[in-house]
Amino acid sequence: MAAALVERIAAVAQRPVRLMEVCGTHTMSLFQHGIRGLLPDTIRLLSGPGCPVCVTPRAEVDAAIALACSDDVTLVTFGDMMGVPGSDTSLAAQRGEGRCIEVVYSPTDALDIARRETGRQVVFFAVGFETTVPSVASTIIDAAEGGVTNFSVLSAHKVIPPALRALLSAEDVRIDGFICPGHVSVIIGSQPYEFIPEQYGVACVITGFEPLDILHSVLLLAEMVSAGDARVEIGYTRVVKPEGNPVAQERMARVFDPTDAEWRGLGWIEGSGLAIKDEFEAHDASRRFAPLIAEVKERSAAVSDPPGCICGEVLRGTRGPLDCPHFGRSCTPMAPVGPCMVSSEGTCAAFYRYGGAPDRS
Protein backbone atom coordinates (compact mmCIF):
# COMPACT_ATOMS: atom_id res chain seq x y z
CA MET A 1 0.00 0.00 0.00
CA ALA A 2 2.83 2.38 0.81
CA ALA A 3 4.57 1.61 -2.48
CA ALA A 4 1.36 2.27 -4.39
CA LEU A 5 0.85 5.60 -2.63
CA VAL A 6 4.44 6.67 -3.34
CA GLU A 7 4.01 5.74 -7.00
CA ARG A 8 0.82 7.79 -7.25
CA ILE A 9 2.47 10.76 -5.51
CA ALA A 10 5.35 10.67 -8.01
CA ALA A 11 2.92 10.56 -10.92
CA VAL A 12 0.92 13.55 -9.64
CA ALA A 13 3.75 15.79 -8.35
CA GLN A 14 5.27 16.81 -11.67
CA ARG A 15 6.30 20.24 -10.38
CA PRO A 16 7.78 21.32 -7.02
CA VAL A 17 5.30 21.22 -4.13
CA ARG A 18 6.13 22.69 -0.72
CA LEU A 19 4.18 21.07 2.11
CA MET A 20 4.42 21.99 5.77
CA GLU A 21 3.63 19.52 8.51
CA VAL A 22 2.33 21.65 11.37
CA CYS A 23 2.51 19.05 14.14
CA GLY A 24 5.76 18.02 15.80
CA THR A 25 4.48 14.45 16.12
CA HIS A 26 4.14 14.35 12.35
CA THR A 27 7.74 15.54 12.06
CA MET A 28 8.96 12.69 14.26
CA SER A 29 6.83 10.14 12.39
CA LEU A 30 8.16 11.31 9.03
CA PHE A 31 11.70 10.66 10.20
CA GLN A 32 10.99 7.51 12.18
CA HIS A 33 9.40 5.76 9.19
CA GLY A 34 11.78 7.11 6.54
CA ILE A 35 8.98 8.82 4.63
CA ARG A 36 11.10 11.74 3.50
CA GLY A 37 13.39 9.33 1.65
CA LEU A 38 10.46 7.69 -0.14
CA LEU A 39 9.00 10.81 -1.66
CA PRO A 40 10.01 12.21 -5.06
CA ASP A 41 12.32 15.21 -5.24
CA THR A 42 9.40 17.38 -6.31
CA ILE A 43 7.87 17.07 -2.82
CA ARG A 44 9.58 19.29 -0.25
CA LEU A 45 8.51 18.85 3.36
CA LEU A 46 8.88 21.78 5.74
CA SER A 47 8.52 21.55 9.50
CA GLY A 48 6.35 24.25 11.03
CA PRO A 49 5.64 25.72 14.47
CA GLY A 50 3.89 22.59 15.73
CA CYS A 51 6.05 21.94 18.79
CA PRO A 52 4.54 23.82 21.76
CA VAL A 53 7.76 23.60 23.74
CA CYS A 54 9.73 25.04 20.82
CA VAL A 55 7.48 28.05 20.25
CA THR A 56 7.37 29.01 23.95
CA PRO A 57 9.39 32.24 24.14
CA ARG A 58 12.32 32.62 26.50
CA ALA A 59 10.47 35.21 28.63
CA GLU A 60 7.84 32.63 29.62
CA VAL A 61 10.53 30.08 30.44
CA ASP A 62 12.33 32.67 32.56
CA ALA A 63 9.08 33.44 34.41
CA ALA A 64 8.61 29.75 35.23
CA ILE A 65 12.20 29.47 36.43
CA ALA A 66 11.77 32.54 38.65
CA LEU A 67 8.67 31.01 40.24
CA ALA A 68 10.55 27.77 40.81
CA CYS A 69 13.25 29.72 42.64
CA SER A 70 10.72 31.23 45.05
CA ASP A 71 10.99 29.70 48.51
CA ASP A 72 7.32 28.80 48.95
CA VAL A 73 6.57 27.58 45.40
CA THR A 74 6.52 24.09 43.92
CA LEU A 75 6.61 24.37 40.14
CA VAL A 76 5.02 21.53 38.17
CA THR A 77 5.24 20.99 34.41
CA PHE A 78 5.59 18.45 31.62
CA GLY A 79 8.97 16.79 31.09
CA ASP A 80 9.77 18.41 27.75
CA MET A 81 9.99 21.84 29.39
CA MET A 82 12.74 20.84 31.81
CA GLY A 83 15.70 21.23 29.45
CA VAL A 84 14.56 24.35 27.58
CA PRO A 85 17.19 27.06 28.07
CA GLY A 86 16.13 30.31 29.70
CA SER A 87 18.29 33.41 29.71
CA ASP A 88 20.72 32.00 32.29
CA THR A 89 19.59 28.52 33.32
CA SER A 90 16.88 25.87 32.87
CA LEU A 91 14.31 24.14 35.05
CA ALA A 92 16.41 20.98 34.94
CA ALA A 93 19.44 22.86 36.22
CA GLN A 94 17.42 24.46 39.00
CA ARG A 95 15.99 21.13 40.01
CA GLY A 96 19.56 19.91 40.29
CA GLU A 97 20.21 22.82 42.64
CA GLY A 98 17.43 21.61 44.91
CA ARG A 99 14.48 23.72 43.77
CA CYS A 100 11.03 22.17 44.16
CA ILE A 101 10.20 21.25 40.56
CA GLU A 102 8.01 18.27 39.70
CA VAL A 103 7.43 16.55 36.35
CA VAL A 104 3.94 15.19 35.68
CA TYR A 105 2.01 13.59 32.84
CA SER A 106 -1.30 15.34 33.58
CA PRO A 107 -2.41 18.65 35.12
CA THR A 108 -4.55 16.64 37.55
CA ASP A 109 -1.28 15.34 39.02
CA ALA A 110 -0.33 18.94 39.76
CA LEU A 111 -3.63 19.49 41.55
CA ASP A 112 -3.01 16.35 43.62
CA ILE A 113 0.36 17.79 44.66
CA ALA A 114 -1.37 21.01 45.76
CA ARG A 115 -3.83 19.03 47.85
CA ARG A 116 -0.92 17.26 49.58
CA GLU A 117 1.39 20.26 50.01
CA THR A 118 -1.07 22.65 51.58
CA GLY A 119 1.67 24.84 53.01
CA ARG A 120 3.13 25.68 49.58
CA GLN A 121 1.95 27.42 46.43
CA VAL A 122 1.80 24.89 43.59
CA VAL A 123 2.10 26.39 40.11
CA PHE A 124 1.46 24.33 36.98
CA PHE A 125 3.45 25.69 34.01
CA ALA A 126 0.94 24.91 31.27
CA VAL A 127 2.48 24.64 27.80
CA GLY A 128 0.60 23.17 24.87
CA PHE A 129 -1.85 23.62 22.03
CA GLU A 130 -5.58 22.92 21.92
CA THR A 131 -4.86 19.24 22.58
CA THR A 132 -3.99 19.79 26.25
CA VAL A 133 -6.05 22.91 27.01
CA PRO A 134 -9.33 21.12 27.87
CA SER A 135 -7.65 19.01 30.57
CA VAL A 136 -6.00 22.10 32.07
CA ALA A 137 -9.35 23.92 32.00
CA SER A 138 -11.03 21.00 33.76
CA THR A 139 -8.30 20.99 36.40
CA ILE A 140 -8.80 24.71 37.10
CA ILE A 141 -12.54 24.13 37.45
CA ASP A 142 -11.89 21.24 39.84
CA ALA A 143 -9.54 23.42 41.91
CA ALA A 144 -12.10 26.21 42.11
CA GLU A 145 -14.99 23.93 42.97
CA GLY A 146 -12.88 21.98 45.47
CA GLY A 147 -11.60 25.05 47.29
CA VAL A 148 -7.92 24.32 46.58
CA THR A 149 -6.52 27.80 47.19
CA ASN A 150 -2.82 27.02 46.79
CA PHE A 151 -3.05 25.89 43.15
CA SER A 152 -2.55 28.16 40.13
CA VAL A 153 -1.68 27.85 36.45
CA LEU A 154 0.92 29.82 34.50
CA SER A 155 -0.69 29.68 31.06
CA ALA A 156 1.64 29.57 28.09
CA HIS A 157 -1.00 27.93 25.91
CA LYS A 158 -1.10 28.65 22.19
CA VAL A 159 -3.74 27.97 19.53
CA ILE A 160 -2.81 26.88 16.02
CA PRO A 161 -5.02 28.67 13.43
CA PRO A 162 -3.73 32.23 14.11
CA ALA A 163 -0.15 30.97 13.73
CA LEU A 164 -0.97 29.51 10.32
CA ARG A 165 -2.43 32.87 9.30
CA ALA A 166 0.77 34.58 10.44
CA LEU A 167 2.88 32.18 8.39
CA LEU A 168 0.79 32.66 5.27
CA SER A 169 0.98 36.44 5.68
CA ALA A 170 4.79 36.43 5.93
CA GLU A 171 6.62 37.52 2.80
CA ASP A 172 9.47 35.03 3.20
CA VAL A 173 7.31 31.91 3.64
CA ARG A 174 5.92 29.99 0.67
CA ILE A 175 3.64 27.02 1.33
CA ASP A 176 1.49 25.09 -1.14
CA GLY A 177 -0.24 22.89 1.40
CA PHE A 178 -0.53 22.11 5.11
CA ILE A 179 -0.48 18.70 6.75
CA CYS A 180 -2.70 19.81 9.62
CA PRO A 181 -2.28 18.44 13.13
CA GLY A 182 -4.33 15.39 14.06
CA HIS A 183 -4.41 15.80 17.85
CA VAL A 184 -5.35 19.48 17.73
CA SER A 185 -8.01 18.81 15.12
CA VAL A 186 -9.71 16.20 17.30
CA ILE A 187 -10.55 19.15 19.57
CA ILE A 188 -11.20 22.00 17.13
CA GLY A 189 -12.35 20.06 14.03
CA SER A 190 -11.74 21.15 10.45
CA GLN A 191 -13.84 24.31 10.32
CA PRO A 192 -11.20 26.66 11.85
CA TYR A 193 -8.91 25.92 8.88
CA GLU A 194 -11.44 26.94 6.21
CA PHE A 195 -9.97 30.45 5.96
CA ILE A 196 -6.73 28.98 4.59
CA PRO A 197 -8.02 27.82 1.18
CA GLU A 198 -10.66 30.55 1.05
CA GLN A 199 -8.30 33.49 1.71
CA TYR A 200 -4.88 32.14 0.72
CA GLY A 201 -5.62 29.39 -1.83
CA VAL A 202 -3.59 26.86 0.18
CA ALA A 203 -4.72 23.24 0.53
CA CYS A 204 -5.10 21.51 3.91
CA VAL A 205 -5.33 17.85 4.91
CA ILE A 206 -5.84 16.75 8.52
CA THR A 207 -4.17 13.42 9.03
CA GLY A 208 -3.07 10.85 11.58
CA PHE A 209 0.41 9.69 12.44
CA GLU A 210 0.79 6.25 10.89
CA PRO A 211 2.94 6.03 7.74
CA LEU A 212 -0.02 5.34 5.47
CA ASP A 213 -1.93 8.25 7.00
CA ILE A 214 0.88 10.63 6.14
CA LEU A 215 1.51 9.27 2.64
CA HIS A 216 -2.21 9.52 1.89
CA SER A 217 -2.24 13.15 3.06
CA VAL A 218 0.74 13.96 0.81
CA LEU A 219 -1.09 12.39 -2.13
CA LEU A 220 -4.27 14.38 -1.45
CA LEU A 221 -2.30 17.61 -1.17
CA ALA A 222 -0.29 16.91 -4.33
CA GLU A 223 -3.55 16.23 -6.21
CA MET A 224 -5.13 19.45 -4.97
CA VAL A 225 -2.06 21.53 -5.80
CA SER A 226 -1.82 19.97 -9.26
CA ALA A 227 -5.51 20.66 -9.95
CA GLY A 228 -5.46 24.13 -8.39
CA ASP A 229 -8.31 23.03 -6.12
CA ALA A 230 -7.47 24.17 -2.59
CA ARG A 231 -9.80 22.93 0.17
CA VAL A 232 -9.76 21.36 3.63
CA GLU A 233 -9.89 17.55 3.70
CA ILE A 234 -10.14 15.28 6.73
CA GLY A 235 -7.89 12.29 6.15
CA TYR A 236 -8.21 11.23 9.79
CA THR A 237 -11.94 10.52 9.77
CA ARG A 238 -11.69 7.81 12.40
CA VAL A 239 -11.25 10.48 15.09
CA VAL A 240 -11.71 13.96 13.58
CA LYS A 241 -15.12 15.49 12.83
CA PRO A 242 -15.71 18.86 11.11
CA GLU A 243 -17.18 20.32 14.32
CA GLY A 244 -14.47 18.85 16.57
CA ASN A 245 -15.24 17.99 20.20
CA PRO A 246 -17.96 20.35 21.52
CA VAL A 247 -17.51 19.23 25.15
CA ALA A 248 -13.79 20.01 25.09
CA GLN A 249 -14.44 23.33 23.36
CA GLU A 250 -16.99 24.27 26.02
CA ARG A 251 -14.45 23.58 28.77
CA MET A 252 -11.87 25.75 27.03
CA ALA A 253 -14.30 28.61 26.52
CA ARG A 254 -15.46 28.46 30.13
CA VAL A 255 -11.97 28.99 31.56
CA PHE A 256 -9.93 30.79 28.88
CA ASP A 257 -10.21 33.92 26.75
CA PRO A 258 -8.19 34.49 23.54
CA THR A 259 -5.29 36.89 23.97
CA ASP A 260 -2.29 38.06 21.97
CA ALA A 261 0.75 35.86 22.50
CA GLU A 262 4.42 35.77 21.59
CA TRP A 263 5.72 32.81 19.58
CA ARG A 264 9.38 32.02 19.21
CA GLY A 265 10.24 32.67 15.57
CA LEU A 266 6.91 34.26 14.72
CA GLY A 267 6.73 37.15 17.19
CA TRP A 268 3.47 38.44 18.64
CA ILE A 269 0.34 36.97 17.03
CA GLU A 270 -3.10 38.40 17.66
CA GLY A 271 -5.51 36.04 19.40
CA SER A 272 -3.07 33.14 19.46
CA GLY A 273 -2.78 32.71 23.24
CA LEU A 274 -5.16 31.82 26.05
CA ALA A 275 -5.59 33.86 29.23
CA ILE A 276 -7.47 32.66 32.30
CA LYS A 277 -10.83 34.38 32.73
CA ASP A 278 -11.56 36.72 35.63
CA GLU A 279 -13.90 34.13 37.12
CA PHE A 280 -10.87 31.94 37.83
CA GLU A 281 -8.32 34.66 38.64
CA ALA A 282 -7.56 33.04 41.99
CA HIS A 283 -5.96 30.21 40.01
CA ASP A 284 -4.06 32.45 37.57
CA ALA A 285 -0.36 32.47 38.43
CA SER A 286 0.26 35.47 36.17
CA ARG A 287 -1.94 37.53 38.51
CA ARG A 288 -0.96 35.88 41.78
CA PHE A 289 2.73 36.53 41.09
CA ALA A 290 2.29 39.56 38.83
CA PRO A 291 5.14 41.78 40.15
CA LEU A 292 7.74 38.99 39.96
CA ILE A 293 6.67 37.86 36.48
CA ALA A 294 6.62 41.42 35.11
CA GLU A 295 10.13 42.06 36.43
CA VAL A 296 11.48 38.82 35.00
CA LYS A 297 9.95 39.36 31.57
CA GLU A 298 11.36 42.88 31.40
CA ARG A 299 14.85 41.54 32.09
CA SER A 300 14.37 38.71 29.62
CA ALA A 301 13.46 41.12 26.82
CA ALA A 302 16.94 42.63 27.07
CA VAL A 303 18.69 39.27 26.51
CA SER A 304 19.59 38.27 22.96
CA ASP A 305 19.26 34.76 21.55
CA PRO A 306 22.48 32.71 21.45
CA PRO A 307 24.60 33.87 18.47
CA GLY A 308 24.05 31.67 15.46
CA CYS A 309 20.95 29.86 16.79
CA ILE A 310 18.33 29.72 14.03
CA CYS A 311 15.56 27.98 15.97
CA GLY A 312 13.11 30.74 15.06
CA GLU A 313 13.77 30.32 11.34
CA VAL A 314 13.44 26.55 11.62
CA LEU A 315 10.01 27.03 13.18
CA ARG A 316 9.00 29.26 10.26
CA GLY A 317 10.15 26.68 7.72
CA THR A 318 12.53 29.14 6.06
CA ARG A 319 15.70 27.25 7.09
CA GLY A 320 16.51 23.73 8.21
CA PRO A 321 18.46 22.36 11.19
CA LEU A 322 21.46 21.50 9.03
CA ASP A 323 21.84 25.21 8.23
CA CYS A 324 22.60 25.93 11.90
CA PRO A 325 26.30 26.18 12.88
CA HIS A 326 25.48 24.77 16.33
CA PHE A 327 23.59 21.71 15.13
CA GLY A 328 25.14 18.46 16.34
CA ARG A 329 28.22 20.27 17.58
CA SER A 330 27.59 22.77 20.36
CA CYS A 331 23.86 21.94 20.31
CA THR A 332 22.80 18.37 21.09
CA PRO A 333 19.86 16.85 23.01
CA MET A 334 22.05 16.58 26.11
CA ALA A 335 23.34 20.15 25.80
CA PRO A 336 20.77 22.12 23.77
CA VAL A 337 21.32 25.70 22.65
CA GLY A 338 17.74 26.17 21.48
CA PRO A 339 14.39 24.51 22.27
CA CYS A 340 14.09 22.79 18.87
CA MET A 341 16.75 20.36 20.11
CA VAL A 342 15.03 19.79 23.47
CA SER A 343 11.53 18.56 22.81
CA SER A 344 10.64 15.10 21.58
CA GLU A 345 8.61 16.96 18.93
CA GLY A 346 11.39 19.38 17.96
CA THR A 347 12.60 19.46 14.36
CA CYS A 348 16.28 19.63 15.34
CA ALA A 349 15.83 16.70 17.73
CA ALA A 350 14.21 14.69 14.92
CA PHE A 351 17.08 15.46 12.52
CA TYR A 352 19.63 14.57 15.18
CA ARG A 353 17.96 11.33 16.28
CA TYR A 354 17.30 9.93 12.82
CA GLY A 355 20.58 10.49 11.09
CA GLY A 356 20.60 14.14 10.13
CA ALA A 357 23.45 15.05 12.48
CA PRO A 358 26.78 16.01 10.92
CA ASP A 359 29.96 14.05 11.49
CA ARG A 360 30.87 14.75 15.11
CA SER A 361 34.16 12.83 15.14
Whether residue 48 is contained in a domain is answered as no
Percent residues over pLDDT 90 in the chain: 86
Tell me the residue type at 20.
M
**Cα–Cα distance measured from residue 117 to residue 308, given in angstroms and rounded to the nearest whole number:** 43
**Stretch 350-354: mean pLDDT:** 89
In this predicted structure, what is the pLDDT of residue 261? 97
**Stretch 102-129: mean pLDDT:** 97
In this predicted structure, what is the pLDDT of residue 361? 40
**Cα–Cα distance measured from residue 163 to residue 284, given in angstroms and rounded to the nearest whole number:** 24
Same domain, 230 and 270: no
Same domain, 107 and 147: yes
For residue 39, CA distances in Å to 2, 206, 234 come to 11, 19, 21
Could you give the strand order of the β-sheet that contains 121-126, starting from the edge strand earlier in sequence?
A: 101-103, 73-77, 121-126, 151-155
**Stretch 132-136: mean pLDDT:** 97
Whether residue 19 is contained in a domain is answered as yes
**Cα–Cα distance measured from residue 354 to residue 217, given in angstroms and rounded to the nearest whole number:** 22
Same domain, 132 and 90: yes
Q: State the sign of the Cα–Cα–Cα–Cα dihedral 210, 80, 352, 307.
A: positive
Range of weakest confidence among 49-58, 103-112, 135-144: 49-58
**Stretch 173-181: mean pLDDT:** 95
H helices then E strands: how many in the chain?
17, 11
Q: How many CA atoms lie within 13 A of 340 on its CB side?
A: 30
Percent residues over pLDDT 70 in the chain: 98
In this predicted structure, what is the pLDDT of residue 206? 98
Give per-residue pLDDT as tens, 192-243. 999 999 999 999 999 999 999 999 999 999 999 999 999 999 999 999 999 9
Task: Please state, rounded to an integer, the average pLDDT across all residues of the chain.
Answer: 94
Whether residue 333 is contained in a domain is answered as no
Range of weakest confidence among 69-83, 263-277, 292-306: 292-306
- For residue 294, the enclosing domain spans 53-158+246-301
In this predicted structure, what is the pLDDT of residue 302? 84
In this predicted structure, what is the pLDDT of residue 304? 82
Whether residue 320 is contained in a domain is answered as no
**Cα–Cα distance measured from residue 312 to residue 302, given in angstroms and rounded to the nearest whole number:** 17
Which residues in 101-210 belong to E strands, given as ranges? 101-103, 121-126, 151-155, 177-180, 203-206
Q: Please check whether residue 51 is in contact with residue 21, taking contact to mean a CB–CB distance below 8 angstroms.
A: no
Same domain, 112 and 260: yes
Range of weakest confidence among 124-133, 247-256, 307-316: 307-316
Q: Which residue has the higher pLDDT, 9 or 353?
A: 9
Whether residue 345 is contained in a domain is answered as no
- Provide the pairing of β-strand 17-21 with 177-180: parallel
Residue 127: CATH number of its domain: 3.40.50.11740
Residue 190: CATH number of its domain: 3.40.50.11750
Give per-residue pLDDT as tens, 145-163. 999 999 999 999 999 999 9
Q: What is the DSSP string of 235-294?
A: S-TTT--TT--HHHHHHHHHHEEEEEEEETTTEEEEEEEEEE-GGGGGGBHHHHTHHHHH
With H, G, I as helix, E, B as strand and everything else as coil, classify residue 46: strand
Confidence of residue 344 (pLDDT cuts 50, 70, 90): confident
Same domain, 148 and 63: yes
Q: Please check whether residue 132 is in contact with residue 104, taking contact to mean a CB–CB distance below 8 angstroms.
A: no
In this predicted structure, what is the pLDDT of residue 301? 87
Q: What is the DSSP string of 189-210?
A: -SGGGTHHHHHH--EEEE--SS
In this predicted structure, what is the pLDDT of residue 357? 57
Please report how the helices 211-227 and 24-32 are oriented relative to each other, as an axis angle in degrees rounded to 10: 110
- Is the confidence at residue 99, as pLDDT, over 80? yes
Whether residue 104 is contained in a domain is answered as yes
**Cα–Cα distance measured from residue 63 to residue 289, given in angstroms and rounded to the nearest whole number:** 10
Same domain, 31 and 176: yes
- Is the confidence at residue 137, as pLDDT, over 60? yes
Confidence of residue 358 (pLDDT cuts 50, 70, 90): low
Confidence of residue 172 (pLDDT cuts 50, 70, 90): confident
- The total number of structural domains in the chain stands at 2
Full-model pTM: 0.92
- DSSP letter (8 states) at residue 155: E
Same domain, 87 and 177: no
**Cα–Cα distance measured from residue 315 to residue 215, given in angstroms and rounded to the nearest whole number:** 22
